[in-house]
Amino acid sequence: MWLTVLGCRAGMPADGQASSGYLLETGTSRLLLDCGPGIATALSSVVRPAGLDAIVISHFHSDHCYDLLPIGKALLSDFAHEPGACVERLAESGFAPVQLFVPRGSGDLLARWAGLFPVRTFPMLDKAFELAFDVHEYAPGEVHSVGDAELTMHEMRHAIPTCGVRVESPTGTFAYTGDTGMTPALYDLAADVDVLLAEATLAEPETGDHGHLSGADTGVVAAKAGVGRLVLTHFASADEDDLEGLRSGAAESFDGPIQLAEPGARIGVGG
């Protein structure tokens, strides 16, 4: 299993770095975990959107989902510009929609979103969420299979409904927190995984209730959950001192390998 970091910034892109987005490749499947601003471009340098088997959205804050519509339009664009393109011919062409996992209750949002940017001359492009994706609205605790990978959704603690995702396959075990504050659910999410990809937004543990982790928090979770490698992401700054502070905070509790995510990094997961 391989993890490729496409973007690692909290909030909007900055310093040439995209927001949250991660490509996870198992033995037979390619999964895109979140796709904030800039991820459609970063993804295109690694794999065409049609090469994805599934996209998982942890929650609908814009820095985790903003490029979902561009990716959907990209999936349809080649066919949509062919003479006589229509829905019926799309089905006949053998086009396979990409599985899209979104939090339960997102259907109305997707419909309104697609209608905001109409392309009158190529109406098929306005049906990204109807045609380009096979949409699954998930609930916490659900388990879904994509190829050789089993995805388990774990409810996290954030300002809006959010799930972290645990991925298990014959090639490794992996967990991604999405955005969350400290919660006992983190230990189940990360238990004994080869790699934990954890947001580390804050320099100090949170005092409010928005729901984010500090570097020190991630170290506590990694140590208690028995993870093999900790990868920190979702950074508010690219300053080297700030990033080293996050790593040092994690190392106070976790004595295993700790890595700072950076765009383009390719990280082995498991054997």
* pLDDT tens-place values along the chain, 271 residues long: 999 999 999 999 999 999 999 999 998 999 999 999 999 999 999 999 989 999 999 999 999 999 999 999 998 876 655 555 666 667 667 678 999 999 999 988 998 998 888 887 777 778 889 889 999 999 999 999 999 999 999 999 999 999 999 999 999 999 999 999 999 999 999 999 999 999 999 999 988 889 999 999 999 999 999 999 999 999 999 999 999 999 999 999 999 999 999 999 999 999 7
Alpha-carbon gap, residue 4 to 156, rounded angstroms: 23
**Would you give the DSSP letter of residue 225?**
H
Rounded to whole angstroms, what are the CA distances from 104 to 58, 61, 123, 269?
A: 11, 15, 27, 29
Alpha-carbon gap, residue 140 to 95, rounded angstroms: 30
Residue 11's contacts (CB-CB under 8 Å, 6 or more residues apart) are 19, 63, 236
| Contact yes or no for 136/102 (Cβ under 8 A) | yes
Total number of domains constituting the chain: 1
Domain region containing 102: 2-268
| Contact yes or no for 26/149 (Cβ under 8 A) | yes
Confidence (pTM): 0.95
- CATH number of 45's domain: 3.60.15.10
